[in-house]
Amino acid sequence: MEKKDIKKLWRFYTIADYEREESFLNEMARAGWNLTAVGFCRYIFRRGNAGEFIYKLDMVERTESDEVKESYFNFLTDCGIRVVGEFKDWIYLQKRASDGPFDTKNNTYAKLRQVNKIYSFSLRTVCNLLRIFVAIMLVLVLLQVLMSNNAGVMDFCNGVIYSLGISSLIALAIIWVPIINKLRRKVNKLIEDIGVNL
Amino acid sequence: MNTTNNALTEAVYYILLALVDPMHGYGIMQQTATLSKGRVRLSAGTLYGALASLLDKGWIEQLPEEGRKKDYRITLAGREVLEQELLRLSELLENGRNTLNNQNE
């Protein structure tokens, strides 16, 4: 494979921007660049026939057992779908365009299923991060209580609690609040489209 | 028995319909596309999730495996659900037709 037939691009998409990420991959495929591997913000394409493949993102949580994953992957293979990349909890699906689309265009149920999966995953992630945060803070407070006669330890714990603790909490909020909000709006919009509220 | 008493989604309806004959996953997708003349296309993810929950409800069953592909078939309970759904759909259809035809006369 010659070097000019390989293209490596950097792109950043948050978990809430999976639709934009899908569009990006499909645009590349239409221009003849087929996704072959995925890493952190990194996409590797190989030159191929323009419009031969279409792409879609799916989520399979890392916490799922190997059997569940294997059974799902086998099922996808049977459906003519190849998993071309895996990154964290995402899998990148490739299908021949001539075999038809991944699902009905504008299928609200399918979209809701996908975004709900991502939304609950994001909420769980934030809860887990908060749990870790609380655990670390509790350890530090406990340490302060136990070592209250040691000024060095007191200062260290105070420093960590006030600087690192607060800044990581702020970082958590800045990163995750917009993502959760965006996903929640998507979920609500789709629920409205289905007509549950009618 | 359809215990939830809800309308079936198009996906579930077509899956159950396809499984009147034993079939594997990809067959269900093709059958659905054919029956609906390409209007309804089940995504692999949708179908995989739906098959799992239909198995769970006992509306379909898995046949003994031959090779790697898994075959499924509708159960008696599944047939019952499908028949209930047909009754519901005929009611909708009949009322719709009657109302609109009366208005046109």
Report the pLDDT value the prediction gives residue B2, as an integer from 0 to 100: 44
Q: Cβ contact (<8 Å) for A75 and B42?
A: no
Same domain, A153 and A190: yes
| Tens digit of each residue's pLDDT, chain B (105 residues) | 444 557 898 889 999 999 999 999 889 999 999 999 988 888 888 899 899 999 999 999 999 877 767 899 999 999 999 999 999 999 999 999 999 988 776
Which of A74, A75, A101 faces B41 most closely, judged by CB atoms?
Answer: A101
Count of the separate structural domains present in chain B: 1
Rg (chain A; Cα; Å): 22
The CA distances from residue B76 to A134, B4, B59, in Å, are 52, 17, 7
Q: Cβ contact (<8 Å) for B25 and A80?
A: no
Q: How confident is the model at residue A11 (pLDDT cuts 50, 70, 90)?
A: very high
Range of the domain at B85: 10-104
- Pairing state between β B23-24 and A42-47: unpaired
Q: Cβ contact (<8 Å) for A110 and B39?
A: no
Same domain, A112 and A93: no
Same domain, A95 and A120: no
Same domain, A61 and A119: no
Q: Who contacts A187 (Cβ-Cβ below 8 Å, separation ≥6)?
A: A112, A115, A116, A119
Q: Cβ contact (<8 Å) for B45 and A100?
A: no
Q: Which of A45, A70, A99 lies at the terminal end of a domain, its last residue?
A: A99
pLDDT in tens, A97-152: 998 888 777 778 888 888 998 999 999 999 999 999 899 888 888 888 888 788 88
Same domain, A28 and A57: yes
ipTM for this model: 0.74
Which of B9, B38, B44 faces A75 most closely, judged by CB atoms?
Answer: B44
For residue B94, give how far its alpha carbon lies from the nearest alpha carbon of chain A (Å). 23
Joined tokens for residue A74: 């086998």
More confident of the two residues A57 and A107: A57
Dihedral sign computed on CA atoms, order A77, A25, A118, A115: negative
Q: Residue A127 burial (CB < 10 Å; 0-12/13-18/19+)?
A: exposed
Q: What gap in Å lies between CA A82 and CA A33, rounded to an integer? A: 16
Range of the domain at A19: 3-99
Q: How confident is the model at residue A64 (pLDDT cuts 50, 70, 90)?
A: confident
Sheet holding B23-24, edge to edge: B23-24, B71-74, B60-62
